[in-house]
Amino acid sequence: MKKLFIHQPLFRLLSPVFSGVVVYLLILLLNNNVAQLQEEFLSEDLYVCIGLSYVVQEFSRTLLLIFKRFTKLNNLLFQIVISLGLSIAIVSVSIILYYKYAIGYSANNEDIIMFSSIFCVITLVYILLFISHDYLHKINSEKLQQEELIKQNIEDDFRQFKKGINPHLLFESFEALLILIHQNKEKTDEFIDHLATIYRYILSSKDRQLVEMKEEYINLVELEKLFNKLPYRAIQVEYTVISDFLLVPGSLLFIIELIVRKTIMSSSIQLRIDIIESEDMIHISYKTHDKINSKLTLKEFEELNRVYSIYSQQKISVEESDQKRIISFPKLTTK
Amino acid sequence: MKVVIIEDENLAAEKLERYLVKYDATTEVVTQQVSIEGAIHWFQNNEDGYDVVFMDIQLTDGLSFEIFHKIKINKPVIFTTAFDEYAIDAFKVNSVDYILKPITFTDVSNAMSKLKSMQDIFGFAEAMEEVEKMVEKKKLKDRFLVRLGNHIHSIKAEDITLFYAEGRTVYLVTTENKKYILDYKLEDLCELLDTSKFYRVNRTFIVNINTIQDVVVYSSNRLKITPKVRVEKEIIVSREKVSAFKKWFEGD
């Protein structure tokens, strides 16, 4: 369905043959001369009809493409009238020339009218075929687009759902919990409290556009505590931000978790993450010790960048220097 | 201190009891009720056998506020709730304490400390009624944050003519015909907006009732909406929504 069939080379080659034969038969019928078929079917007249069909169809096709290109001319009635008029002109001129030079006498008006009428019908059928198929093509394309949009929305929903649920963190925490529950009931309660607080924040903030940094930080502390209770994790977040500003909910948590997931961790070596501020940006810096098969790249911030682009012209940036990586994102303020 | 726990989740009740005992070893949980019916029955037979009630709002057989409709509780009530922060405002303004689930020890100890210092203001029937009303009333979004240059502006919902989706992007159009991108889906907006003012007329548009200039009958029993601002696409009320749209457009 990518291309209308009237534009297919095979159709363009074969359909004039078919319509030419039909025109020829009609002319014989109108002239009450069907008996000629028994004498000689492949006469010169047949070839003329096929040739004329070819010219008329190709001309109509070109005209339709021109109409399609110029939207101002894209009026159905106008298209039909112009196409028919020009077809009549072409057919009439062709017949006059054929009669004069091939047969040797002038064409009479009856013959010209007869040929013009039949080719008018051929042109009309051709235009209607084109328009109906074009319309069908448009409807199908719209349906396909809608399907594609629905598919994209479902994928998007799934991604958002996954982002909200964060299965990686959830299952990792559950696994740690299964061990902890047999060892220390008190610590288990604390662990569940951290986990639940983080999830409550993530889920309750999904309908909010922006949150205050202070609120995000409170939940970051919970995340830090949770990570430090997970096996092979030791992180320390140094937070020195004092100004008030807004940010996309969960963005700081997302970046810290991303750093933790992309860094080779050990419970004996603490990962220190510094969160500092400049005039209009927040900077998160840490010593790089990337995992071998999963390095942190700017691509990871695509979705976050998309959301930030709604509120700021500044983008999230990742800079690396001297075994240190600095991730910066804009401070958002309302006017 | 004698405590009544009304909670339908056993694990949550156990946890609360554990924290209460941790806070004050002399605390005694006199009963744990799991339903409204059970709680009413217990309070009717034990008018003075307790000092404080910890009450979950959503129980399996309904909202726990129903208990206050049937009997009078003159002791402090601390609600435990999984409601989001909007509902919590209700508790703040009415000086009734609450603990947001999941319960942490800090929350419990703070609530108990507050209880000791503010006992006289707990348990007022009027306050309870107010809380009930506010909890049942859904918080609606009345402002939207949008970017203008490098600044973020807040636009009132009443100043919005319509929302529309183009592919996966959702736009907000103001009454001054300014267009902004939003990070919401139309489905989410339907949940957040005041449904008496905004209506989703088809898959693409949510319109504001106050900014509709004209509605005309369109082909195939559909309706065409003309808003007060100029919109490139036609706003057609889909056939299956025509009846509901008319009801909404008619108002109460």
Decide if pLDDT at A1 tops 50.
no
CA distance A218 to A92: 87
Q: Quick check: B147 contacting A, CB < 8 Å?
A: yes
The distance of B66 to chain A (nearest Cα, Å) reads 26
The closest CB to that of A310, out of B104, B141, B181, belongs to B181
A253 vs A260, A318, B36, CA distance in Å? 11, 16, 39
- Would you state the pLDDT for residue A232? 83
Give Cα B147 distance to the centre of its chain.
27
Q: What is the mean pLDDT of residues A154-173?
A: 84
Whether the per-residue pLDDT at B125 is higher than 70: the answer is no
Tell me the pLDDT band of A214, cut-offs 50, 70 and 90.
very high
Amino acid at B34: V
| Residue B227 φ/ψ, nearest 5 degrees | -80, 170
Query: What is the nearest CA distance from B45 to chain A, expressed in angstroms?
Result: 34
Residue B11 has pLDDT above 60, yes or no: yes
Residues from chain B that touch A209, judged by Cβ atoms under 8 A, are 144-145, 183
Q: Are B210 and B197 in contact (CB under 8 A)?
A: yes
- Lowest-confidence range among B113-122, B145-154, B202-211? B113-122
Residue B224: Cβ-neighbour burial (10 angstroms; 0-12, 13-18, 19+): middle
Percent of chain A with pLDDT over 70: 94
The stretch B139-167 carries a mean pLDDT of: 89
What pLDDT is recorded for position B86?
46
3-state secondary structure chain A: CCCCHHHCHHHHHHHHHHHHHHHHHHHHHHCCCCCHHHHCCCCHHHHHHHHHHHHHHHHHHHHHHHHHHCHHHCCHHHHHHHHHHHHHHHHHHHHHHHHHHHHCCCCCHHHHHHHHHHHHHHHHHHHHHHHHHHHHHHHHHHHHHHHHHHHHHHHHHHHHHHHHHCHHHHHHHHHHHHHHCCCCHHHHHHHHHHHHHHHHHHHHHHHCCCEEHHHHHHHHHHHHHHHHHCCCCCEEEEECCCCCCEECCCHHHHHHHHHHHHECCCCCCCEEEEEEECCCEEEEEEECCECCCCCCCHHHHHHHHHHHHHHCCCCCEEEEECCEEEEEEECECEC
Q: Which of A156, A189, A210 sits opposite B145 (nearest CB)?
A: A210
The whole-angstrom separation of Cα B6 and Cα B150 is: 51
Both tokens of A237, joined, read 């977040």
What is the pLDDT confidence band of residue A282, given thresholds at 50, 70 and 90? very high
Give the DSSP H or E segment for B33.
strand B28-33
Cβ <8 Å between B151 and A210? no
Classify residue B138 by its DSSP letter: P
* Minimal CA separation from A192 to chain B, in Å: 8
Taking CA atoms, A52 is separated from A74, A81, A94, in Å, by: 26, 19, 8
The confidence score (pLDDT) of residue A74 equals 66
How many residue pairs bridge chain A and chain B with CB atoms within 8 Å of each other?
61
- pLDDT class of B124 with cuts at 50, 70, 90: low
**How many Cβ atoms are within 10 Å of A280's Cβ, its own excluded?**
14
Instruction: Measure CB to CB from residue B152 to each of A149, A193, A334 and give the nearest one.
Output: A334
User: For residues A194 and A218, is the Cβ–Cβ distance under 8 A?
Assistant: no
pLDDT of res. A82? 86
- Does residue A23 have a pLDDT over 80? yes
- Poorest-pLDDT segment among A7-11, A35-39, A287-291: A35-39
Rounded mean pLDDT, A30-52: 75
**Is A193 within 8 Å of B102 when comparing Cβ atoms?**
yes
d(CA B146, nearest CA chain A) in Å: 6
| Residues A162 and A169: beta-carbon distance below 8 Å | no
Closest residue in chain A to residue B82, using alpha carbons only: A200
Mean pLDDT over residues A54-78, rounded?
80
Does this complex have an ipTM over 0.85? no
pLDDT above 80: residue B85: no
Q: What is the mean pLDDT of the segment spanning A71-82?
A: 76
Can you tell me whether residue B174 is helix, strand or coil?
A: strand
Higher confidence at residue A115 or residue A31?
Answer: A115
Tracing tokens 């009428």 back to the chain, one arrives at A117
Question: pLDDT tens, A79-91?
Answer: 888 888 988 999 8
Instruction: For residue A148, list chain B residues with Cβ-Cβ distance below 8 A.
Output: none
Confidence of residue B33 (pLDDT cuts 50, 70, 90): very high
Beta-carbon separation of B148 and A335 below 8 A: yes
B42, containing H or E segment = helix B36-45
10 Å CB burial of residue B166 (0-12, 13-18, 19+) is: exposed
Report chain A's mean pLDDT, rounded to a whole number: 87
The pLDDT-based confidence of A197 (bands split at 50, 70, 90) is confident
Of B84, B181, B188, the CB nearest to A204: B84
DSSP run (H or E) holding B244:
helix B242-250
Q: What percentage of residues in chain B have a pLDDT greater than 70?
A: 85
Residue A333's identity, in one-letter code, is T
What are the backbone angles phi and psi of residue B212, rounded to the nearest 5°?
-85, 125
- How far is the first Cα of chain B from the last one, in angstroms, to the nearest whole number? 51
Minimal CA separation from B204 to chain A, in Å: 12
What average pLDDT does this structure show over A190-198?
89
Written as six digits, the tokens of A91 are 């057919």
Alpha carbons A157 and A160: distance in angstroms, whole number: 5
In chain B, residues 81-140 whose CB comes closer than 8 Å to chain A: 84-85, 100-102, 104-105
The string of DSSP letters for B90-133 reads HHHHTT--EEESSP-HHHHHHHHHHHHHSGGGTT-HHHHHHHHH
Name residue, tokens 């609450």. Answer: B98
Identity of the residue in B104, B144, B147 whose CB atom sits nearest the CB atom of A193: B104
The DSSP output letter for B219 is T
Choose between A163 and B56: higher pLDDT. B56
Tokens in use for A216?
């995000």
Q: Which residues of A touch B149 (CB under 8 A)?
A: 313
Of residues B124 and A303, which shows the higher confidence score?
A303
- pLDDT of B95 reads 47
Q: Show residues of chain B in contact with A210, CB under 8 Å.
A: 145, 152
Gyration radius of chain B over CA positions: 25
pLDDT reported for residue A228: 92
Mean pLDDT (whole number) for A106-119: 85
**Nearest residue of A to residue B11 by CA position?**
A189
Residue B93: predicted pLDDT: 46
What pLDDT band is residue A210 in, cutting at 50, 70 and 90? Answer: very high
Higher-pLDDT residue of A159 and B146 is: B146
C-beta of residue A44 within 8 angstroms of C-beta of residue A102:
yes
Mean pLDDT of A298-326: 90
Q: Is B38 helix (H, G, I), strand (E, B) or coil?
A: helix
Residue A297 has pLDDT above 60, yes or no: yes
pLDDT at A36: 66
Give the pLDDT confidence score for residue A71 in this predicted structure: 65
CA A22 to chain centre: 45
Between residues A287 and A165, which one has the greater pLDDT?
A287
Is the predicted pLDDT of residue B131 greater than 70, yes or no?
no
pLDDT value at B120 more than 60 = no
Quick one: average pLDDT of A309-313?
A: 91
In whole angstroms, give the CA distance from residue B139 to residue B133.
12
- Least confident stretch, A2-11, A185-194, A211-220: A2-11
For residue A311, give the nearest of B141, B152, B168 by CB distance: B152
> Are B150 and A312 in contact (CB < 8 Å)?
yes
A interface with B, Cβ–Cβ below 8 Å:
149, 152-153, 156, 189, 192-193, 196-197, 200, 204, 207, 209-210, 246, 307, 310-314, 332-335
Q: State whether residue B18 sits within 8 Å of chain A by CB.
A: yes
Q: CB distance from B233 to chain A under 8 Å? A: no
Query: B228 CA to chain A: closest CA distance, Å?
Result: 26
Residue A238 CA to residue A285 CA, distance in Å, equals 10
If residue B70 lies in a helix (H) or strand (E), which one and from where to where?
A: helix B66-70
Q: Which residues contact B248 (CB under 8 A, 6 or more apart)?
A: B195, B196, B199, B209
Q: Which residue of A204, A251, A314 to mutate against B (max B Cβ within 10 Å)?
A: A204
> What local confidence, expressed as pLDDT, does residue A5 receive?
76
For residue A311, give the nearest of B15, B104, B145 by CB distance: B145
- What would the two tokens of residue A240 be? 């020195």
A333–B191 CB contact, under 8 Å = no
Nearest CA in chain A to B14: A189
Q: How far is B167 from chain A (nearest CA, A)?
A: 7
Check pLDDT > 60 for residue B92.
no
Question: Do residues A85 and A93 touch, judged by C-beta distance below 8 A?
Answer: no
Question: What confidence score (pLDDT) does residue A224 get?
Answer: 95
Q: Which two tokens stand for residue A210?
A: 């922006």
Enumerate residues 150 to 209 of chain B having a beta carbon within 8 A of any beta carbon in chain A. Answer: 150-154, 167-168, 181-183, 185, 188, 191-192
* Rounded Cα gap, residues B194 and B210, in angstroms: 12
How close B183 comes to chain A (CA, Å)?
7
